[in-house]
Structure 1
Amino acid sequence: MVSADENRLLTESGPGTPGGDVLRRYWQPAALTEELDSDRPVVPVRLLGEDLVLFRDDQDRLGMIGRRCPHRGVDLSYGRVEDGGLRCPFHGWLFDVTGACLETPAEPPASTFHTRVCQVHYPVAERNGIVWAFLGDGDPPELPGLDCFVAPGPQVFAFKGMWGCNWLQAHEVGIDPAHAAFLHRFLGAADGTYGLQFRDTIADTDVTVAELMREAAAPDITIEPTPFGFRSRTLRRYRDEFTHVRVSNCIFPNAITIAMSREMSIFQWHVPIDDRRCYWYSMFVSYGNPVDAEVMRAQRISQVTLPGYQPIADESNNWGFDPVEQRERTYTGMGADINVHDQWAVESPGPIFDRTAEHLSPTDAGIRTHRRMFLAALRQPDADTLIGTADPGGLRGPGAIDGVTTGDDFDAAWRNLETQRREASGWAPALAD
């Protein structure tokens, strides 16, 4: 349980807020690269409570500037891409990717007025299907050396979706390994796109994930601090046959990485649009065969509406809830798409959950740890270094794996599996920790 003041500090992300200042010290996803794949590569962006516009100019340079023209406030997402920048249709003012005003053509030819105008702008970088933005003060740090950034392009697929809740609610479902045994439980064989990993047999066993979750619903969870945040190790003992070891990570302040399979991990950021809505951005990283991006996109694009990537299932249609299905097939009654299960879990408490009314349990160790870290960071705004900022390029991995062992050295078991897949990948660096 946190106080009302702590809940406000944890959930506010706009300009000038302590929490927003922390998030601005890190690169954040601003858009999918695919959103710029058109004859007019201009995308309105709302990020951390700021209205911005992302564009690719006619020289293939990326820029992100304030959405309101500094002249009369019109919406620059309707601007014209031409002459080395983005031109406002109202009076023709032209802005380049650095926010500099290049022209004010309605002024007399000898006017130098444009030299005294500069639009808000932020550094951006494109990496493996996502355009990243740095909204902090000063020069941006380098992007961290995480697997999702250093992997060859064919090994990564990126996608996003909108949730109607505060970013912290989205993040906290990702650092809660206990919920999978219930929220994603299948009463019979799993079916559907996102339930496949629950139907699949766990490597080196003849037990499906669904069977494991039903048999071993109460996990043993331990938290270990790391240079990038913390590692969560979840143990589930299946009868007397084996122990399932799952390692996931919190990448401070608002990202996670979890294992999707022995071959693939997911890196996911939970990014505030404002305090009541957020996007999740996922990067699916394969350590084996290249991803089939066309198939993966087709599976996911059918579940959202464009251009905002809002999910089709939401509160207005009860997240697809079917009481017959809940009785006979799934624990939630909301279909086989586990992303919808998570969406219900984070949206149904309301846009900003009142954490003064919650009762955290021992299995919520990751949630407690993250809140302590975030509160400590926002209360030290002048700290020279925050978690993972001292040497972002030195951060590698992190390892996210699930596997089984019949022994008692669980740390050695998962590290051995992680080392094997990194060596087999041909590109993934050795773990840094």
Structure 2
Amino acid sequence: MMSAEQNAVITQTSAGSPAGALLRQYWQPAALAVELDGERAIRPVKLLGQDLVLFRDEDGRLGLIDRDCPHRGADLAFGRLEDGGLRCPFHGWLFNTKGDCLQTPAEPKDSRLCERIKQQSYPVIERSGIIFAYLGEGEPPAFADLDCFVAPDSHVFAFKGLIECNWLQALEVGMDPAHASFLHRFFEDDDQSGVYGRQFRATSADSDIPMTRVLREFDCPTIEVEKTSSGLRLKAYRKISEASTHVRVTNVLFPQAFVIPLSSEMTITQWHVPIDDTNCYWYAIFTSFTKAVDKEEMRAQRLKLYTLPDYRPRVGRFNDYGFDPYEQAHKTYTGMGDDINVHDQWAIESQGAVQDRTREHLGQTDKGIVAYRRLLLEAIRKVEAGERPLMVLTPEEASAIRGPSTMDGIGPTGQSEEYWRDVDARRRGGASWLTENQVAQEKN
């Protein structure tokens, strides 16, 4: 059981806090690239408690700077994109993507004030539909050669959604393989013709059994957790019969993402990013190993649940998460519709804005969460000691991080390790965008 002090250490992420210092060692998702589409390529961003403004200038360059104008603190998110930068509407001060002051037009013509003004700016880069930002000091780490970053644009799709609670409890739900048999239980299985892009609805690899049936009928998995070069690997086994066992392999990508299978052809890499200590966004990249992603269909599915421009959920605490007692009795375990994002949202938001971990009682199924918290605390201590934590990578180290492997299938009982590696190798071997070297490295 945790103390209140320990809970604060791992949940608070503002500047100067222990976990905040750790997370500032990494690239953080700051916005979807599509949020800067259109005439007005400016978005306010709140990230790790900092108020920022993201913009793309007239030449397509990305900039991320502090949101308050250094003149008199006006909001630069209402600025004008012109003359090579972002101009404050209050007095016309102009800043480029690096935070340099280019003009102070209301000052006398011979004024040199502009030369002394520098707005704080932060490195930004666009990868696979997400704009990442680095809020730390010094050089940013290298990006690992993850599948979601190696795949071409045609084979990835990015989306996000707002969650009104602390980032850590949102992340930890992805380290808990057992919850899916209850929270995401459906009393009937879907026609497979309509399951594209939907979590836990397709059949498992090498079977005609829908995942919904596996979760419903085999609700007590055996869970194994092991350390990897990128975080943790979780393996959940559900014995179907003496001859066959369902195997699901997922990953924790340190510090705040997980990688899970969506279907036999697609994976999800999902980050949980603090806005502040009581709100976060999930950012996900869906990666296809076969055909190109149907982005219009994927986006349309998700916009049924989220509103623009802030990607707020259409159901939530304000309308009891769409709870229907008849549905709970006859159709779903939660009575909260058929989208698992809503189920997860209820589970983690109902823990409170910041979960009180002094009151929890963890069990055997929580071994992934226990292992992650140890990694997190170890990394926090390393940063405090001036050491380099896990996954702060050099370019050479980044090129050696592959995958990570993830799968969902039904194979021979007693051969689960060999089976899941074979399924992963088959999928990766069939991906046109992976080289033989990349397939071989991840297989090992």
- Please, what TM-score do these two structures have when normalized by structure 1? 0.97
3-state SS, counterpart of residue 356 of structure 1: helix
Partner of 1:91: 91
Do the aligned partners of 2:189 and 2:210 also contact (CA within 8 Å) in 1?
no
Q: Distance in 1 between matches of 2:157 and 2:32?
A: 11
**What does the per-residue CA deviation read over 1:89-128, in whole Å, with 9 as the maximum and x for residues that have no partner?**
1111111111111111111112111111111110000011
When the two chains are superposed, the root-mean-square deviation of aligned CA atoms in Å is: 1.5
Shift of 1:145: 1.1
Partners of 1:423 and 1:406 lie apart in 2 by: 21
TM-score (norm 2): 0.95
Distance in structure 2 (CA, Å) of the matches to 1:44 and 1:405: 48
Alpha-carbon separation, structure 2, partners of 1:230 and 1:201: 25
Query: Among residues 367, 377, 380, which one is paired with 1:378 in the alignment?
Result: 380
> Greater shift after overlay, 109-118 or 202-211?
202-211
User: 1:419 — aligned with what?
Assistant: 425
Range that drifts further, 306-315 or 205-214: 205-214
Mapped partners of 1:206, 1:303: distance in 2: 29
Could you tell me how far apart the structure 1 residues matched to 2:273 and 2:199 are? Answer: 26
Q: Distance in 2 between matches of 1:404 and 1:218?
A: 16
Shift in alpha-carbon separation, 1:410–1:189, aligned structure 2, 3 A? closer
TM superposition shift of 1:67: 0.4
Q: Secondary structure at the match of 1:235?
A: strand
Q: Return the offset for 1:142.
A: 2.0
| SS of residue matched to 1:414 | helix
**Paired position in structure 2 for 1:3:** 3
Partner residue, 2:288: 286
Distance 1:3 1:23 in 2: 22
Letter in 2 for 1:98: K
Question: What is the rounded CA distance, in whole Å, between the counterparts of 1:386 and 1:99 in structure 2?
Answer: 29
Provide closer, same or farther for how the CA distance between residues 196 and 40 of structure 1 changes in structure 2, counting only shifts above 3 A.
closer
Deviation of the 1:133 alpha carbon = 0.4
The equivalent of 1:313 in structure 2 is: 315
Amino acid at match of 1:347: E
SS at match of 2:419: helix
Structure 2 contact 160–281 (Cα < 8 Å) conserved: yes
1-structure distance, mates of 2:208, 2:305: 32
Provide, for residues 402-430 of structure 1, a one-character-per-residue CA deviation record: whole Å limited to 9, x for no partner.
11211423222111111111111022322
Residues in 1 aligned to 2:199 and 2:115: alpha-carbon distance in whole angstroms:
57
**Are 2:316 and 2:346, in contact at CA under 8 Å, matched by a contact in 1?**
yes
How far apart are the structure 2 equivalents of 1:93 and 1:124? 22
1:408 aligns with 2:410: no
Contact kept, 8 Å, 1:193 with 1:299, in 2: the verdict is no
Aligned to 1:64: 64
Letter in 2 for 1:393: S
Q: In the TM superposition, what whole-angstrom CA distance separates every residue of 1:125-159 from its partner, at most 9, and x where no partner exists? A: 00111100011101112222111111101000000
Show CA shifts across 1:53-88 (max 9, x none): 000001110000000001100100010111111011
Describe the SS at the equivalent of 1:121. Answer: coil
Say if 2:226 is the partner of 1:251: no
The match for 2:404 is 398
- Spell out the pairing of 1:186-225 with structure 2 (5 A cutoff): 186-190=186-190, 196-225=198-227
Q: SS of the residue aligned with 1:106?
A: coil
d(CA) in 2 for partners of 1:196, 1:138: 40
Q: Give the aligned partner of residue 38 of structure 2.
A: 38
Q: Secondary structure of 2:382's match? A: coil
Structure 1 CA distance, aligned partners of 2:217 and 2:44?
47
Unaligned runs of 5+ in 1: none
Give, in whole Å, the separation in 2 of the partners of 1:144 and 1:25: 14
Letter in 1 for 2:45: V
Letter of the structure 1 residue corresponding to residue 420 of structure 2: W
- TM-superposition CA deviations, 1:195-229 (whole Å, max 9, x none): 95544332322322122112211001111101110
Identical positions, percent:
53
Per the alignment, residue 234 of structure 2 pairs with 232
> Are residue 388 (structure 1) and residue 391 (structure 2) matched?
yes
- Contact 2:202–2:263 (8 Å) recurs in 1: no
| Aligned counterparts of 1:77 and 1:208: Cα–Cα separation in 2 | 47
2:101 paired with 1:101: yes
Unaligned 5+ residue runs, structure 2?
A: none
Alignment of 1:290-369 (within 5 A): 290-369=292-371
Name the counterpart of 2:146.
146
